[in-house]
Amino acid sequence: MSKRAKIIAANWKMNHGPATAARFLERFLPSLHVAGFDPGGAAISWTARLLIFPPDLSLQASIRAAHQPPMRMPVEFGVQNIYWEEAGAFTGESSAEIAREAGARFALIGHSERRHIFGESDTDTNYKVQAANRAGLIPVLCVGELLEERREGQLEEVIRRQIGACVKSLADGPSFMIAYEPVWAIGTGETATPEDAAEAHAIVRATLVDHATGDPATTPVLYGGSVKPNNATELMSAPGVDGVLVGGASLEPESLAEIAKGGAAAA
């Protein structure tokens, strides 16, 4: 049994505008109570660490809803993507600095939808890790194999390549997280087994050790891909799984609270 609090990260993707996000957070605290959490006034003893990644336009409304008295929810926030330049003529993009100024503490980098829908390369993800470090955001680097790659036995090669591309930049920053998300399990209802997750997480850690990057014992490695209330505890109990990155099942407060409860049970 590990004593470290599990990390429950919610990736809302392109869902929840500012008003919907605020309503979500108003319902989330009561849902946490129902799920068995006991926020006892200012000194709250949480057994799970909660991170939410809203769409950029909903970030500030979410932070306000969560942190304004009397809420003061112990939820941290991040963005789903950043551009690597600091400022300038890059229509439609937000820099790491803008995200930081808006209140983000974390940035997802290289999510599979960025890689496979928007054509983001390993070089792009490396620049983005550097930008996050520069602005004081904690990068959450997402890695994972396609179904064909898995079938062809390339799991290890893909993970090593995707981390390897960013490894020097990750080492330059104060801290980072890795999210292992097999592409075939994202939004499909197909979940990796706890054994699959443990195998991939071991590869992630071995890659960090080989590159002498971060502290492999303490760098959080999250699992993502069709995490639901009914499989979260089992996945978070697998060796080397420090938490989960949840898409679809994070969109309802009750479901996210149940997953957080699962994290507390697995801690």
**Chain positions contacting ligand PGA, by CB under 6 A:** 11, 181, 186-187, 224-227, 245-249
Q: Quick one: tokens of 236? A: 């978070």
Nearest approach, Cβ of 1 to ligand PGA (angstroms)?
A: 26
Nearest approach, Cβ of 19 to ligand PGA (angstroms)?
A: 23
Instruction: Name which of 75 and 186 has its Cβ closer to ligand PGA.
Output: 186
From 16, 111, 145, 258, active-site residue: 111
Has 258 been annotated as catalytic?
Answer: no
Which residue number is nearest to ligand PGA in terms of Cβ? 247
The answer to whether 177 and 219 are in contact (CB under 8 A) is yes
Instruction: Name which of 11 and 207 has its Cβ closer to ligand PGA.
Output: 11
Distance CA 39, CA 48 (A): 12
From 76, 113, 181, 258, active-site residue: 181
Nearest approach, Cβ of 219 to ligand PGA (angstroms)?
A: 19
Has 195 been annotated as catalytic?
Answer: no
Q: Quick one: tokens of 171? A: 């080492």
Instruction: Name which of 153 and 181 has its Cβ closer to ligand PGA.
Output: 181
User: Nearest CA to 62 among 267, 250, 261?
Assistant: 250
The position carrying tokens 């990155």 is: 245
Instruction: Name which of 96 and 249 has its Cβ closer to ligand PGA.
Output: 249
Instruction: Name which of 83 and 184 has its Cβ closer to ligand PGA.
Output: 184
Nearest approach, Cβ of 210 to ligand PGA (angstroms)?
A: 26
- The vertex-124 CA angle with 118 and 129, nearest 5°, equals 120
Nearest approach, Cβ of 256 to ligand PGA (angstroms)?
A: 11
Instruction: Name which of 207 and 231 has its Cβ closer to ligand PGA.
Output: 231
Residues designated catalytic:
111, 181
